[in-house]
A and B are shown apart, each in its own frame.
Chain A
């Protein structure tokens, strides 16, 4: 449990190593070379620390700027513009430049929260439990409200009791599975997304 701080020995060694007076007397300029410290000498951009880099597309608007995401040890350490893309040529707007801030926002949620009916606060519940519970609710709601034909005999095969909102910010593959499962499988018709907002 060692406490990290600048010990006396380090201070003395550091002072002697970076002492400018002797270098100044030896002729180096006190405004540049003589003043340079060892920290400045071996300074490197943090991207050299990255052990993985990938191309992602900015998650904000539809211009489709492409970005480079750098990661180290399974965590993203920086996101900035991809210079190869003809769409943004390395540049990004304020939102795109904040992608790293979004991924590492303090307000980010990483566990499932559940509110029981008439409850007054959130509870933490495991993901698997939530998935089972939602599947059961979907089946129960569908079974109770599925209509195969209207009174006048017209074929409908739908349920009006379940709805889904969402997808303009989701991947195409996600939208495809949502429409395939909800419409093609469960017979939901209330399926919409931000395209109309």
Chain B
């Protein structure tokens, strides 16, 4: 039990008249400023996993969409999408197992299913996604188009789960920042996953020299970033309403990462460049490439900053006690 800080003021509290649900801004007496909650043990590894899961889930979805609705010119996108999905398959489970504190018992994740536990749901999403993505990818390699079309459906459905189940994983806790705005966080994560997938496919397409689907991917990236931006705004409004707005404030490292990385790189830059492209009309390839990179970086920054800021919000008793006082979220 590491002690956060010795209290600066002497320990004699003041009489505060007690009414359980009074106005939120009344000063909260805390217990010698000691944390009221325990912060999670999740850090960079989990952030990286969420990013990769979102990316590979999104890629599989886009590949399936391209395969079903697209034409011959989209074959490249389908192939590259299915290959990017393998990232989740090969890096996802090892990252999670590495993050366990007793990794030798990783198999217990498949011991039970609990619908109230996003991690339990997530385990089955990740397993099915990995299984079907692997089958789709092998079918793709072997050229069995029919088989691939069959297995890509469950893979895509699981992929949809992969893009956003991690949001409900965070929000189904008592950490104030994560629990404050469940829907907005889901929007942010879904948007960010799709944006990253679209950006990754753009980059992969450029590398392969097959830019046929570029406009679709750019449009898709624009839509995804817009969704993420809407989610971010809604989350900010919700935090302010619950009085825990300063959670993601600039003066903390995580706050800065959230403002500059997630919002700046992840949303502002892409929106600006796409808007510029729509108005300006002249495609400048280097601008598109940098935007795609910005989206990817922004997506990872979002996960990192939300995790770090969440853990910090759990350490501030003023916020966790205020959050637990008026929080009416269902």
Contact = CB atoms under 8 A, between A and B. Distances in A.
Tell whether any CB of A sits under 8 Å from a CB of B in the complex: yes
Interface of A: 6, 11, 15, 18-21, 24, 30-31, 34-35
A8 to B, nearest CB: 10
Contacts of A34: 112
A30 B113 contact: yes
A21 B112 CA distance: 5
Contacts of B286: none
21 contacts: A6-B104, A11-B107, A15-B107, A15-B108, A15-B111, A18-B111, A19-B111, A20-B111, A20-B112, A21-B110, A21-B111, A21-B112, A21-B113, A24-B112, A24-B113, A30-B112, A30-B113, A30-B114, A31-B114, A34-B112, A35-B112
Given A21-B110, A21-B113, A24-B112, 14 more contacts: A6-B104, A15-B108, A15-B111, A19-B111, A20-B111, A20-B112, A21-B111, A21-B112, A24-B113, A30-B112, A30-B113, A31-B114, A34-B112, A35-B112
Nearest to A20: B112
Interface of B: 104, 107-108, 110-114
Contacts of A11: 107
A6 B104 CA distance: 10
Contacts of B108: 15
Contacts of B104: 6
A85 to B, nearest CB: 35
Contacts of A31: 114
Most buried by A among B108, B111, B114: B111
A120 B114 CA distance: 66
Nearest to B114: A30
A31 B112 CA distance: 10
A19 to B, nearest CB: 6
A21 B104 CA distance: 20
A20 B120 CA distance: 13
- Looking at A18, A19, A30, the one whose CB has the most chain B CB atoms below 10 A away is A30
A30 B48 CA distance: 30
A113 B240 CA distance: 68
Contacts of B113: 21, 24, 30
A30 B111 CA distance: 10
A81 B113 CA distance: 43
Nearest to B107: A15
Nearest to A34: B112
- Most A CB contacts (10 A, CB to CB) among B108, B110, B112 go to B112
A41 to B, nearest CB: 16
Contacts of A24: 112-113
A21 B111 CA distance: 6
- Sort A-B residue pairs by CB-CB distance and give the 5 closest, nearest first: A20-B112, A30-B114, A30-B112, A20-B111, A19-B111
Nearest to B112: A20
Contacts of A15: 107-108, 111
Contacts of B112: 20-21, 24, 30, 34-35
Nearest to B117: A30
A34 B107 CA distance: 17
Contacts of B110: 21
